[in-house]
Chains A and B, each alone.
Chain A
Amino acid sequence: MNAIRFQNVSKIYRRSHLGRVTETAGLAGLDLDIVKGEVFGLLGLNGSGKTTAIKLLMGLHHPTKGEVETLGRRASDVEVLARIGYAPEAAYLNKTLTGRENLRLFASLSGIPRAEIEERTADMLAKVGLGKAMDQRLSEYSKGMLQRASLGQALVHDPELVILDEPVTGLDPLAIKEVRALILWLRGKGRTVLFSSHDISEVERVCDRIGILSGGRLVKVMAQDEWRGKADALETAFTAAVVRTDGVGPIRME
């Protein structure tokens, strides 16, 4: 049973400036199935299409071509979002509200019954380590605390599918370890996890499968047994598969 399905999905960004229209391919003909219960990592360079793929899943973008399905429903179906948890690459939370108010808002938006909201909110804040800071405004939170609050909002409604966009970028080693433990805990509970990352070593440790994106195309899909126990197998595959599309050349210090 698939948790996520991309069927020949393309996304073209059109920009118009002074009457001149330029088109950029964010994704080109993506076909990918992610089965329920697996942890899938999307690897790729900047601009490879990882975030575009995630935005298509979350309904923030509409595909130019093809179909995107999550949990058996079209991604544009608002109702299915109640079963998905999403944490973007940075904590885009409302800083004027407290931690508790933020989580209460997202619990309410996710359709948690009113009677349960308070308990679920306090419980989740305690789980992400913000039990003592829950009544502080987010403008007073540190970056690490914000990241935890962002994870809290993604998980407060106990979703079946968790999508994390670059969850370890910019975190300290201790926090990275905690995120890793969280992903493994979610897998243990039978949840499906999709996360994007630049960090090959992180992906190596927790993923069942990975997909490598380059220039909006899925260039390689690998299962755990293809890299487990084989030193640098994933890194070698990654560097062989990706092509820089951002016009930046390699660093040479000769």
Chain B
Amino acid sequence: MQTISAVFAYTFKEHLRHKAWLSAALFGLVLLGGAIIVSALGADERARLLLDLGLASIELIALVSVVFLTVHLILAEIESRAIYLILTHPVRRSDYLLGRFLGTLAAVALGMAAMAALHLILLSLYGWWEPLRYLAALGCMLGKISVMGALSLLLSLALTSEAAAMAFAVFLWMLGHFSAEMRFLADRSGSSFMKTALVAFSHAAPDFAHFNYRDFWHQAAPGGEWLMWAGVYALAYTAACLALSFQLFEQKEF
């Protein structure tokens, strides 16, 4: 536990001191400002627009940050050879990877929390105040970001090319929002091969479409039990990707 927390602490600190993190945070503020301006065009739906566009901005910034940071997370340490010094200490490789991942996720979550606090204040000024629903939406967004972070980490270790890993991560993000479409297409497909392939893909890819609380909460918002299963889904999917990353990382030589 001491090693995981030590790796977590230095990773967290490293990210917060990185210019990229500060730039992302600033860009997030600019996007929130943009949401205020755009929402002014929404007439009597101003609060809804500010809510949707603000949450989308937070998620977008978090997505870009988490993909960028996790793809570079290990590959950059291998390139700079800083990993030599870490792994030549009594650190299990899985502990190292877990600490690095959690530190990165915490840095991204901190950015999200700061943006969300500002967003919530702005919303309250426009008469929207439903902090519990907002927290549920934010929790689901963090779940998506956690799954994407773990997937990007896995891809970076499997492909060892940063560009390829980022491209695949974006592709999986899109595919994840297509899960309902894939099931819809499978239902209508005449070929049993296509049907099986589409169903398999829709299950293997992370099911972001059903997880996208901030996108469908204007319809009937799901209740506490759904939120619990959504949490289990995000944790299990993230942990499965991390376990596969551990498997790949343990066989790696430096």
Contacts and interface: CB of A to CB of B under 8 A. Distances in A.
A and B touch in the complex (CB under 8 A): yes
B92 interface: yes
Interface stretch (B11-19, B32-40, B194-202): B11-19
Interface in B222-254: 253-254
Interface string B30-57: 0000000000000000000000000000
B88 A108 contact: no
A90 B85 CA distance: 11
A92 B88 CA distance: 12
A108 B10 CA distance: 11
B228 to A, nearest CB: 35
**A-B complex: 6 closest residue pairs judged by Cβ atoms:** A108-B6, A109-B89, A92-B81, A82-B90, A58-B88, A81-B90
Interface in B176-219: none
A94 interface: yes
17 contacts: A58-B84, A58-B87, A60-B84, A60-B88, A78-B92, A86-B85, A92-B82, A94-B10, A101-B10, A105-B9, A108-B2, A109-B86, A110-B89, A110-B90, A111-B90, A150-B85, A153-B85
Interface size class of B (residues with CB under 8 A): 20 to 34
A29 interface: no
Contacts of A184: none
A111 B6 CA distance: 10
Nearest to A110: B89
Given A82-B90, A92-B84, A97 B254 contact: no
A94 B81 CA distance: 10
Contact of B88 (A86, A96, A97): A86
B88 A59 contact: yes
Nearest to A157: B89
B3 interface: yes
B89 A106 contact: yes
A153 B88 CA distance: 11
B2 A60 contact: no
Contacts of B90: 78-82, 109-111
Interface size class of A (residues with CB under 8 A): 20 to 34
Contacts of B80: 92
A81 B88 CA distance: 6
A61 interface: yes
Interface of B: 2-3, 5-7, 9-10, 13-14, 17-18, 80-92, 253-254
A46 B74 CA distance: 28
A27 B155 CA distance: 32
A146 B18 CA distance: 20
Contacts of A108: 2-3, 5-6
A84 B13 contact: no
A189 interface: no
A81 B84 CA distance: 12
- Give the one of A55, A79, A84, A105 with max B CB within 10 A: A105
A94 B84 contact: no
A47 interface: no
Contacts of B84: 58, 60, 86, 88, 92
A81 B89 CA distance: 5
Contact of B254 (A55, A80, A105, A150): A55
A17 interface: no
A157 to B, nearest CB: 8
